[in-house]
Amino acid sequence: MERLDAFMTRANAAYYAARDPFADFTTSPEISQVFGELLGLWAAVMWRAMGAPAGAMLAEAGPGRGTLMADALRAIGRAAPDFRPSVHLVESSARLRAVQAAKLSAALPGAAAGGVLWHDSVADLPPGPLVFIANEFFDALPIRQRRGAGEAFVAGGARVWVPDSNELVRETCEPALAIVRLLAARGAAALIVDYGPEASAPGDSLQAIHDGRPADPFARPGDADLTAHVDFAALACAARKAGAAVHGPVPQGKFLAALGLFQRTGILARTQAPKKAGAMMDGARRLAEPDRMGRLFKAMAICHPDLPLPPGFET
C-alpha cells in the first residue's frame, strides 16, 4: 500500500522521465507563441516595479519543452532589453532538461543561453530578486485525498462510527502550499497559471491522460500524465498568511486579453498567409474562449505587498 501522494510522485517521475508528455496533451505555450511573449512582458513589468534590481532572476517551474521561456526571453529582448535576468528552470526530468537546453540555445544563441541554470526544486533557487512563472506545473504536484470518517450512531448501548459513503473527497497538495509560502516569504513576484475552480470545492479531481484521452490513474503508473485541479483558494490563503499580496485568480481568457493577446496575435497574423494567419487567430481564441481554455484555466499572482497591481489583474 502506498499513500496517493507517494504514488503520484512515483508515477509522474516515471512519466516525465520516459515519455513525451506533449504527445498526450497540448499546453498554452505550444498553442500560441503569444502566451510566452505576454508572460515574459509580465515578468519585465514586475521587475521594473521592483525597482529594476540588478542580478534579478527569472525562474520557471516545470518548463516542459522550454517553449514558454524561449518566447518570453525573445519578447523581453525586444521590448525590455535592459531586463537581463539570469534564467532558472525548476525541472525534475533529465530528459526534459535536455529538450529545454536545446530549445533555449537554438532560440537564444550566445550569452542568454549560457545563463540558464537548472534546479530540482523551487527551494533550491538561489537568494535574490525573483520573478517566478509557472504554467501547468502545480497541477502535476502530488495530492492527498481524504474522506470524512463518518457519523455517530448508537447501537447496543454504545456509540458506533458509521462511515458516510456519500462523504465527498477532500484534496490537499502540500508541495504546492510549501512553494507558495516560500515565494511569499521571499517577496517574489510570482505568476501561477493552471487549471482549477475559483473557490475550493470538494470532489475527486485526480485525472490521468494517455494518448490525449482519459485513462485509469492507477493501472499503469508512468504511462499516463496524472494531474489534479489546483486549489487556488488554498494557495491564496497560504500566501497571504506568509505575508504576500494575492491577485486573482482570474480566468485565463480575461487575463490574456487584458495583456493584449488579440492585438499581438493580429500583428503577427498580418504578415502570414491566410491559412497560417487563421490558425494563429484560432490559437489565440483557444486560449481565451470560456468553453475552451479561457475559463477553467486561471491566472493568480503572489507578490510582495508593496508591489503595484500586476498587469492583467485590473478589474
Task: Give the integer Cα–Cα distance in Å for 16 and 140.
Answer: 10
CA angle, 16 as apex, 188 and 300 as ends, to 5°? 30
DSSP 139-205: GGS--EEEE---EEEEETTEEEEE--TTPPEEEE-HHHHHHHHHHHHHT-EEEEEEE--SS---S--
Number of neighbouring beta carbons within 10 Å of residue 186: 19
Q: How far is the CB of 89 from ligand SAH (least distance, A)?
A: 9
CB nearer to ligand SAH: pick between 12 and 265: 12
CB nearer to ligand SAH: pick between 29 and 312: 29
Q: Which residues bind ligand SAH (CB under 6 A)?
A: 12, 16, 21, 27-30, 62-64, 68, 90-93, 96, 135-137, 140-141
Q: How far is the CB of 39 from ligand SAH (least distance, A)?
A: 10
Q: How far is the CB of 175 from ligand SAH (least distance, A)?
A: 7
CB nearer to ligand SAH: pick between 14 and 245: 14
CB nearer to ligand SAH: pick between 46 and 194: 194
CB nearer to ligand SAH: pick between 61 and 108: 61
Task: Give the integer Cα–Cα distance in Å for 279 and 277.
Answer: 5
Q: How far is the CB of 297 from ligand SAH (least distance, A)?
A: 11
CB 282 within 8 A of CB 262: no
Q: How far is the CB of 93 from ligand SAH (least distance, A)?
A: 4
CB 86 within 8 A of CB 115: yes
